[in-house]
Amino acid sequence: MKQEELSTPYCDKCAIERGSIFKYLSAEEINMLNFEKEFRQFKRGEILYHERSRISGFYCIHSGIIKVFKTGLDGKEQIIRFARPGDIIAYRSILSNEPACTSAKVIEDCRVCFIPSEILINLVKSNSNFAFELLKLACRELGEANSYITDIAQKTVRERLAEILLLLINDFGLDFQNYLQISLTREELSNIVGTATESVIRLLSEFKADNLLELNGRKIKILDKKGLEKISKVFG
Amino acid sequence: MKQEELSTPYCDKCAIERGSIFKYLSAEEINMLNFEKEFRQFKRGEILYHERSRISGFYCIHSGIIKVFKTGLDGKEQIIRFARPGDIIAYRSILSNEPACTSAKVIEDCRVCFIPSEILINLVKSNSNFAFELLKLACRELGEANSYITDIAQKTVRERLAEILLLLINDFGLDFQNYLQISLTREELSNIVGTATESVIRLLSEFKADNLLELNGRKIKILDKKGLEKISKVFG
DNA sequence: CGGTACGTTGAGTCATATCAACCATAGTGG
DNA sequence: CCACTATGGTTGATATGACTCAACGTACCG
């Protein structure tokens, strides 16, 4: 790990490199952010914030992976989305002025910047380009949520698992050996798909038997992406 | 029906009476809206816009009810939400600059104002209070979508049907005889819950047998709201 | 070395989907 | 005016996907 990565990152660099939501801020605003923000580090398993709690700021992910989830009735998690470097989380609750409707937990050790609520509100009110970008972001997420609702309501677990694998490939990529670049427990996978852990295990075994993928513990090697697309029916 | 309701409604009146998204616009902006908008009427069954199409403006509902839905693989609709007087639809696609991710169809005859895309974009960029309101709206919808994802993934059809009935009661109310103030076909109900039409029919019969409600065709009379809450597990 | 968390497999059950038949209603056209 | 058709609603029989429960294996960790 490079030395510079261990110190507090500069927002301007972050914004440019990652094309984050901050890319339309003025130099002055970036400086203000740099001054106001607080750098924090979290290890796998740590919680950034809890459902139902009032949040005093939002997080911009600098490195690592975070899962954003809701807790169902019997305590089962439903993973809503993942946050990667460049993403922001918890902005929804701040803007709608509601308690958090999700919890956020670290999947891969991460370094984040915490930015107080007022800063966000002020930026939205003073910089219309920033507000517009945020609006676009929220609208894109809303579109994804709508698709997801339809999928869960209409597709089989088998189809959904294939689709989620494709989504993960798309979001996190494959390494040079075609291994999926995110490592999830079977339970976490089941909490994205919205099914029982055992079902995911069985279906993964089936996919393996059908030569769609290989399994080495949590590492998943993708052998036949087209096959997964066919199962998931993404291209109708 | 009163005479005034048949002519083009004035946005200022509309904004004040309904507390719509336009409530923070200046008099000047309201006038501009009044000038630029186009008044349209639709009858039950008519389509306002189709999934995948590019939209040239958004709609503000003046009267009537519209269902917003996605079409699944085998053509089955998934109803995402309903739009009532004061609500706006299609703003999502305009802001995220994507083709429509849903279709909109009339449930109850309606009168709407059509407002061109540029107007929305300009307002967002020029009026930060308006942008903030829109942002809040999108964030609230996003929160609802997240809840819905968790429900569909984790609750049984029975629980979901009870929950949807409560939601409809909440959104559309009951008349003086406790009849639900929105009339949906069994198929439409099933397209909200995300299940087969026959399942909805069977479950409604069960609810009737359990004295939770009465059925007269499409009219649903609510007898035991608490009972529905218990089934839906809304209060844990 | 025992404990804890995760992964796997099997067997049984149940909720829900599917398929099929039938009825009611209303609108249509000859 | 009546047969015709379409649409929506209902019920029954049957099939099955997915969940649950239970047992056991595996790996890592203090």
**B147-164 tens-digit pLDDT:** 999 999 999 999 999 999
CA of B62: how far to CAs of A148, A213, B36, B92, B138, in Å? Answer: 30, 53, 16, 19, 20
B89-107 pLDDT, tens digit per residue, is 999 999 999 999 999 999 9
A 85-104 → B contacts, CB under 8 A: 91-93, 95-98, 101-102
What tens-digit pLDDT sequence spans chain A (236 residues)? 444 456 778 787 777 777 788 988 999 999 999 999 999 999 999 999 999 999 999 999 999 999 999 999 888 999 999 999 999 999 999 999 999 999 999 999 999 999 999 999 999 999 999 999 999 999 999 999 999 999 999 999 999 999 999 999 999 999 999 999 999 999 999 999 999 999 999 999 999 999 999 999 999 999 999 999 999 998 64
* pLDDT reported for residue B2: 44
What's the 3-state SS for chain B?
CCHHHHCCCCHHHHHHHHCCHHHHCCHHHHHHHHHHCEEEEECCCCEEECCCCCCCEEEEEEEEEEEEEEECCCCCEEEEEEECCCCEECHHHHHHCCCCCCEEEEEEEEEEEEEEHHHHHHHHHHCHHHHHHHHHHHHHHHHHHHHHHHHHHHCCHHHHHHHHHHHHHHHHCECCCCEECCCCCHHHHHHHHCCCHHHHHHHHHHHHHCCCEEEECCEEEECCHHHHHHHHCCCC
Position B138 pLDDT exceeds 80: yes
Q: Of all residues in chain B, what percent carry a pLDDT higher than 90?
A: 86
CB B202 under 7 Å to nucleic chain D: yes
| Contact call for B78 and A149, based on CB within 8 A | yes
DSSP A18-79: HT-GGGG--HHHHHHHHHH-EEEEE-TT-EEE-TT---SEEEEEEEEEEEEEEE-TTS-EEE
| Contact call for B140 and A80, based on CB within 8 A | no
Q: What is the number of other CB atoms lying within 10 angstroms of the CB of residue B54?
A: 12
Distance, in Å, from the CA atom of A76 to the CA atom of B100, rounded to the nearest integer, reads 33
CB A150 under 7 Å to nucleic chain C: no
Under DSSP, the state recorded for A178 is -
CB B215 under 7 Å to nucleic chain D: yes
Q: Distance in angstroms, CA of B70 to C1' of C23?
A: 31
What type of residue is B188? Answer: E
Number of A to B CB contacts under 8 A, please give it.
Answer: 146
Distance, in Å, from the CA atom of A128 to the CA atom of B131, rounded to the nearest integer, reads 8
CB A196 under 7 Å to nucleic chain D: yes
Report CA dihedral (B10, B11, B13, B16) to the nearest 10 degrees. 170
CB A182 under 7 Å to nucleic chain C: no
* pLDDT reported for residue A107: 95
Q: How confident is the model at residue B18 (pLDDT cuts 50, 70, 90)?
A: confident
- Mean of pLDDT over chain B: 92
* pLDDT reported for residue B83: 97
Given A101, A125, A135, which is nearest B134 (Cβ)? Answer: A135
B68-77 pLDDT, tens digit per residue, is 999 998 889 9
Walk me through the domains of chain A, giving residue ranges and CATH numbers. Answer: 3-152 (2.60.120.10), 156-232 (1.10.10.10)
Position B195 pLDDT exceeds 50: yes
- B17 versus A116: the higher-pLDDT residue is A116
Give the closest nucleotide to A199 (alpha carbon vs C1'). Answer: D18
Work out the average pLDDT over B218-223: 96
* pLDDT reported for residue B6: 61
Report CA dihedral (B167, B171, B176, B180) to the nearest 10 degrees. -50
Q: Distance in angstroms, CA of B34 to C1' of C22?
A: 54
Q: Distance in angstroms, CA of B182 to C1' of D27?
A: 57
B140 touches chain A (CB under 8 A): yes
Distance, in Å, from the CA atom of A78 to the CA atom of B117, rounded to the nearest integer, reads 35
CA of A46: how far to CAs of A42, A43, A67, A129, B46, in Å? Answer: 6, 6, 11, 34, 51
| Contact call for B139 and A233, based on CB within 8 A | no
User: Are the C-beta atoms of A213 and A204 separated by less than 8 Å?
Assistant: yes
Q: How confident is the model at residue B168 (pLDDT cuts 50, 70, 90)?
A: very high
Given A73, A76, A80, which is nearest B236 (Cβ)? Answer: A73
Chain B CB contacts of A134 below 8 Å: 135
Give residue A113's region: left, alpha or beta (phi > 0; psi -120 to 50). Answer: beta
| Contact call for B149 and A152, based on CB within 8 A | yes
